[in-house]
């Protein structure tokens, strides 16, 4: 199997975690954001990653990939067998994919796009050393393009932050009542929550070189400090199951 991905992407982390959780061997194919468009579209007909290729099959999107892997490699399933619990897990995952994923991504880039010293090594993870050098040379153009592509500005970042806080509070309530979001076992719902918020607690197993906490922009540091109690349930479960 090959996983076509951005190492920095939290949606790709969902798939990396799934593959590792199931003990499956795979080859990562790392792209630089922007440079992925042509090869990924030729591969899948779309421009988004992650994309998994396996025995001639091409599966796009983290949720569809998890479903495929649970069906083709059923050991250590992430999708509950019970019909009602399965739907609950899928509903949680869809909501987190649609709300948490975009919000966390926009919020992180809002803070880090002004710090190429921190962001470039993360964007260039898995690339030859000269790619980072090239990104720094063209960073003004890169930053402008990424802000436009993701619509990153003060207003959208504030809205993203509010979305994050609402979801984190809801997750904290859920995790205070039960160790798992759905049923009595770790599922794709928990994996989605922990993966998509992982950028807020920067786990080593994610596989990229995170900035040191005291290097982060002041506003980012302050928010992470103020919301540490909301993030902690996700940090704990990531450490336990990743």
User: What pairs with residue 28 in β-bridges?
Assistant: 3
- pLDDT by position in tens, the chain (length 242): 999 999 999 999 999 999 999 999 999 999 988 888 899 999 999 999 999 999 999 999 999 999 999 999 999 999 999 999 999 999 999 999 999 999 999 999 999 999 999 999 999 999 998 999 999 999 999 999 999 999 999 999 999 999 999 999 999 999 999 999 999 999 999 999 999 999 999 999 999 999 999 999 999 999 999 999 999 999 999 999 99
Q: Cα–Cα distance between 210 and 145 in angstroms, integer?
A: 23
Q: Cα–Cα distance between 64 and 216 in angstroms, integer?
A: 34
Residue 168: its H or E element: helix 154-177
Phi, psi (5° rounding) for residue 28? -75, 140
- Kindly list the structural domains of the chain, giving each domain's residue range(s) and its CATH number in brackets, ordered by start: 2-72 (3.40.30.10), 83-241 (1.20.1050)
Q: Residue 208: name the closest of 12, 70, 4 by CA.
A: 12
Specify whether the CB–CB gap between 152 and 106 falls below 8 A. Answer: yes
The answer, as to whether pTM is greater than 0.85, is yes
């Amino acid at each position: 199997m090959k996983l076509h991905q951005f190492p920095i992407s939290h949606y790709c982390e969902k798939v990396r975690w799934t593959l590792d959780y199931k003990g499956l061997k795979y080859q990562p194919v790392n792209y630089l954001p922007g440079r992925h468009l042509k090869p990924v579209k030729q591969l899948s007909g779309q421009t988004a990653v992650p994309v998994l290729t396996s025995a001639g099959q091409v599966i796009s999107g983290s949720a569809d990939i998890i479903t495929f892997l649970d069906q083709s490699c059923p050991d250590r399933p992430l999708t509950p067998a019970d019909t009602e619990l399965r739907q609950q897990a899928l509903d949680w995952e869809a909501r987190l994919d649609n709300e948490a994923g975009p919000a966390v991504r926009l919020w992180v880039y809002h803070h880090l796009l002004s710090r190429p010293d921190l962001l470039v090594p993360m964007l260039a993870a898995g690339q030859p050393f000269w790619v980072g050098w090239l990104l720094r040379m063209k960073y003004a153009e890169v930053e402008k393009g990424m802000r436009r592509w993701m619509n990153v500005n003060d207003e959208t970042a504030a809205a993203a932050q509010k979305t994050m806080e609402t979801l984190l509070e809801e997750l904290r309530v859920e995790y205070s009542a039960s160790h798992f979001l759905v049923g009595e076992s770790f599922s794709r719902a928990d994996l989605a929550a922990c993966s998509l918020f992982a950028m807020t607690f920067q786990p080593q197993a994610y596989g990229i070189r995170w900035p040191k906490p005291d290097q982060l922009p002041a506003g980012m540091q302050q928010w992470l400090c103020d919301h540490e109690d909301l993030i902690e349930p996700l940090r704990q479960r990531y450490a336990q199951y990743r």
